[in-house]
């Protein structure tokens, strides 16, 4: 039996947030704009529509690249609802992505944060295999990170959790995530809480399981106008190889000012 929840509160991204005192998971925030999904219900079990053909009243689409093909689908009988983006062993270029059909709606010029409960349930097994979860601009095919603007947690076959960020204004970052004063975070297959807080453009903060994993001031954000408006982004990608990767997303919460 799981430990009983002890709900606490603190200011995160400039707004009061309630969170699970045992796991640090954000459960509510006094924010003007909020989006959340636990991936349960008929909208998900009906099958995720393809990119370019969104379903009325349903936020998500999937981008599938590959003849085999890879998949983006609800995991059968998963506790709390889990969407999996899965590559296959076929030796070919593949992509399996879940996003908002390029309906960009998260304004990073406003105070906000996004949090995912996710797992790299199958880690990238060969060079050229990659995965990411975070926020990005419109879809662009090819090796990651590849969008014009993004703030992402990323993985490659080097077994380290990475931070990828690009604001389109010359600030681009690619480095290993690690607690301040600690060592780089090695990839595992367990569920973790990944959170990014863009409330201070001079100091974008990345967190894993409630602990900060980038140094203060290490990521600066200067995106403006339409380029600063992003969408949730979840993807696995590989070049022509037999490599594998599976990204499992259990929940997403976004809190943003208007």
* 247 in Cβ contact with 101 (< 8 Å): no
The CATH number of the domain where 140 resides is what? 2.60.120.200
Reply yes or no on whether the pLDDT at 5 is more than 70: no
* Domain assignment present for 124: yes
The pLDDT value given to residue 33 = 86
pTM of the predicted structure, to 2 decimals: 0.94
The pLDDT value given to residue 30 = 82
Average pLDDT, the chain: 93
82 upstream amide cis, omega within 30 of 0: no
Number of domains into which the chain is organized: 1
* Domain assignment present for 150: yes
pLDDT in tens, 21-44: 889 888 888 888 899 999 998 889
Q: 11-37 burial, b for 16+ CB within 10 Å, e for fewer?
A: ebbbbebbbbeebbbbbebebeeebeb
The pLDDT value given to residue 257 = 87
* Domain assignment present for 1: no
Residue 227: name the closest of 174, 166, 175, 173 by CA: 166
pLDDT in tens, 39-59: 998 889 889 999 999 999 999
Q: Could you tell me the residue range of the domain that residue 214 belongs to?
A: 34-256
* Domain assignment present for 17: no
pLDDT in tens, 184-213: 998 899 999 999 999 999 999 999 999 999
The pLDDT value given to residue 2 = 58
Q: How far apart are CA 53 and CA 102, in angstroms?
A: 11
Highest mean pLDDT among 7-11, 37-41, 177-181, 223-227: 223-227
* Domain assignment present for 28: no
* Domain assignment present for 3: no
* Domain assignment present for 21: no
Q: At which residue do the structure tokens 């600030």 appear?
A: 171
Three-state DSSP class for 228?
helix
* Domain assignment present for 151: yes
Neighbours of 141 (CB within 10 A): 11
Q: How far apart are CA 44 and CA 33, in angstroms?
A: 23
List, in order, residues 6 or more apart from 1 with CB less than 8 Å away: none
Reply yes or no on whether the pLDDT at 3 is more than 70: no
Q: How far apart are CA 23 and CA 1, in angstroms?
A: 15
pLDDT in tens, 247-258: 999 999 999 988
């Amino acid at each position: 039996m799981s430990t009983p929840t002890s709900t606490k509160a603190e200011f995160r991204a400039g707004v009061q947030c309630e969170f699970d005192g045992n796991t640090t998971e954000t459960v509510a925030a006094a924010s003007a704009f909020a989006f959340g999904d636990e991936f349960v219900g008929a909208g998900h079990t009906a099958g995720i529509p393809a990119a370019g053909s969104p379903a009325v009243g349903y936020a998500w689409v999937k981008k599938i690249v590959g003849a085999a093909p890879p998949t983006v689908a609800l995991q059968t009988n998963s506790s709390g609802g889990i969407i999996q983006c899965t590559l296959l062993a076929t030796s070919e270029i593949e992509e399996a992505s879940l996003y908002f059909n390029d309906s960009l709606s998260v304004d990073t010029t406003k105070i906000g944060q996004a949090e995912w409960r996710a797992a790299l349930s199958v880690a990238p097994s060969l060079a050229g295999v990659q995965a990411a979860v975070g926020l990005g601009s419109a879809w662009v095919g090819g090796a990651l990170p590849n969008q014009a603007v993004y703030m992402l947690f990323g993985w490659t076959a080097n077994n380290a959790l990475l931070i990828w960020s690009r604001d389109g204004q010359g600030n681009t970052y690619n480095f290993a995530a690690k607690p301040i004063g600690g060592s780089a975070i090695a990839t595992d297959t367990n569920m973790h809480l990944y959170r990014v807080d863009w409330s201070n453009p001079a100091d974008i903060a990345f967190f894993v399981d409630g602990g900060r994993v980038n140094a203060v001031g290490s990521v600066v954000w200067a995106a403006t106008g339409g380029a600063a408006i992003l969408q949730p982004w979840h993807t696995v990608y590989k070049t022509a190889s037999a490599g594998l990767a599976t990204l499992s997303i259990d929940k997403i919460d976004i809190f943003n000012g208007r």
